[in-house]
Amino acid sequence: MRVRERFACLSLAAGLVLMASLQAKPASRDIQQLFDGSRAFAHIEALVALGPRIAGGPAERAAALYIAGAMTSCGLDVEIQEFPQTFFEDLGAALEVVGGPALSPLTMLYSPPGEFFGVEIVFCGLGHPQDFDGIDVAGKIALMRRGEITFASKIANAAAAGAAAGIVFNSVPGNMNATLYSMAAIPAVMISLEDGAILTGLLDEGPVAVNLTIDVVWYPSTSQNVIGTLQGLDPDEGIVYIGAHYDSVWHGPGANDDGTGIGAMLEAARVLTRYGHQTKATIKFCAFGAEEVGSVGSEYFVMTGEEEVVGRGLGMINLDMIGVGDTLNIGNIGWADSALTDYTREKAAVMGIQDWAPWTAGTNSDHVYFEWMGVPVVFLYQSPDPYYHTAEDTPDKIDVAVFARNGRLATAVLYDWAKNPPVLARQLATADVAE
Ligand SMILES: [Zn+2]
């Protein structure tokens, strides 16, 4: 239902933005030059000093208040938009065959904790409801194969069949991080295809018992988006969004991911407000929470503000990891008009940036719901980052010159786009919505 709604929105908004045409752009060289890389970098250090900014946790909240303070001191109108978010921290999982090898499980995101000693495992195919027919899995651990249905569905089906826990093995070599999206009824881990072959091989010979422990901390909590608004000169003009996320993974300091995006965005806000650069369109500086657990904050922002985003959104600049690596990727998913991405690529060339590359973005960051709604997106992402989602994602890994250059590009594009907004026939949106 929700997906259908989204695709309906996409089709109407896509028709809408196809009517966009661009006016001449002013020079924005002065704007770029005002961007102070060391000020932007100081925001990264301040965020990292708070510790891992786990979605729904106290460090994430402290980061939100820090960002709100920085935005307020720029003179932006600041709103903190709260939404429900389970705090979840994985402290590790262990799995061993009784009298056999130790395997290497990964806790699924939103698995409850659990301890099982000498509990039998039962192979339950792909974990469809019918796969449990005639199988006695009550009080046992369901072993399932990845594929065809979501991890959450497999685990829910196993729970409905009475299983005490679930293990899913990968369908391709190696292990992977899996999410259940919300707290599951029973504990669940992911193992590699290779570990899965060990278990199914042993099951071919007879009953298999395992010891499985899953150690997590979780509690219902709230996360928040911090939205700073810079009112445009013309209320009838639309809104240009620039976004980055301030949460981090539980074991990561989150310097590049995404302290860099936040640092650059806050410096862009300082430049545009401090020096009195006014734009026709309104600018919304969006610091999103809970990105690492499924872009929850940006989804909340777009879905609760759908009328504004669809009706007034002129573009969205997403900054996620812009400080490590030798290539600046400039792109979008391809769902909406490419005007903003095209413009950013031109701007990069004009600014003399050599090491950028066109790129088709994935759906794993905060741009996705904007683009789904038909808003033109550009996603800036520097790569490769060998420290991605590790404890090594610290400020010293950031190439400050590259980071500042990317921040300057984002600031210039933001300014240009809001100063001379693309002309969108926004009234069409309401006409189509009525259908
Ligand atoms: Zn990120």
- Of 330 and 21, which is predicted with more confidence? 330
**pLDDT at residue 213 above 50?**
yes
CA of 293 to the centre of ligand 1 (A): 10
- Of 10 and 80, which is predicted with more confidence? 80
43 three-state secondary structure: helix
CA of 55 to the centre of ligand 1 (A): 12
Query: Tokens at residue 135, please?
Result: 């199988």
pLDDT in tens, 8-17: 334 444 444 4
pLDDT in tens, 92-112: 999 999 999 999 999 999 999
At residue 430 the predicted structure's pLDDT band, cuts being 50, 70 and 90, is: very low
At residue 204 the predicted structure's pLDDT band, cuts being 50, 70 and 90, is: very high
Percent of the chain with pLDDT over 70: 91
Domain spans of the chain, in order of start = 9-87+220-433, 99-207
235 three-state secondary structure: coil
Query: CA–CA separation, 329 vs 332, rounded Å?
Result: 10
CA of 313 to the centre of ligand 1 (A): 23
Closest CA to 40 of 405, 334, 312, 343: 405
CA of 291 to the centre of ligand 1 (A): 7
CA of 264 to the centre of ligand 1 (A): 14
CATH 3.30.930.10 describes domain 99-207: no
Mean pLDDT computed over 32-45: 96
CA of 312 to the centre of ligand 1 (A): 26
Min mean pLDDT across 73-87, 301-315, 323-337, 420-434 is at 420-434
User: Which pLDDT does position 424 carry in this prediction?
Assistant: 61
User: Which pLDDT does position 6 carry in this prediction?
Assistant: 34
CA of 135 to the centre of ligand 1 (A): 42
CA of 168 to the centre of ligand 1 (A): 26
CA of 152 to the centre of ligand 1 (A): 23
CA of 410 to the centre of ligand 1 (A): 17
CA of 417 to the centre of ligand 1 (A): 24
**pLDDT at residue 29 above 80?**
no
Query: CA–CA separation, 212 vs 165, rounded Å?
Result: 9
User: Which pLDDT does position 23 carry in this prediction?
Assistant: 38
CA of 319 to the centre of ligand 1 (A): 9
Hey, do 9-87+220-433 and 99-207 end up sharing a CATH topology, with the first three levels equal?
no
CA of 379 to the centre of ligand 1 (A): 12
Kindly report the CATH number that applies to the domain delimited by 9-87+220-433.
3.40.630.10
Sequence-ordered strand ranges (E) for 321-364? 327-332, 356-360
pLDDT in tens, 336-367: 999 999 999 999 999 999 999 999 999 999 99
Query: CA–CA separation, 328 vs 364, rounded Å?
Result: 17
- Average pLDDT taken over every residue of the chain: 91
CA of 320 to the centre of ligand 1 (A): 5
Percent of the chain with pLDDT over 90: 86
**pLDDT at residue 115 above 70?**
yes
Instruction: Give the Å distances, CA to CA, from 66 to 87, 183, 425.
Output: 20, 29, 38
Instruction: Give the Å distances, CA to CA, from 116 to 139, 140, 347.
Output: 10, 9, 58
- Of 59 and 22, which is predicted with more confidence? 59
Query: CA–CA separation, 141 vs 165, rounded Å?
Result: 5
pLDDT in tens, 220-279: 999 999 999 999 999 889 999 999 999 999 889 999 999 999 999 999 999 999 887 789
CA of 353 to the centre of ligand 1 (A): 23
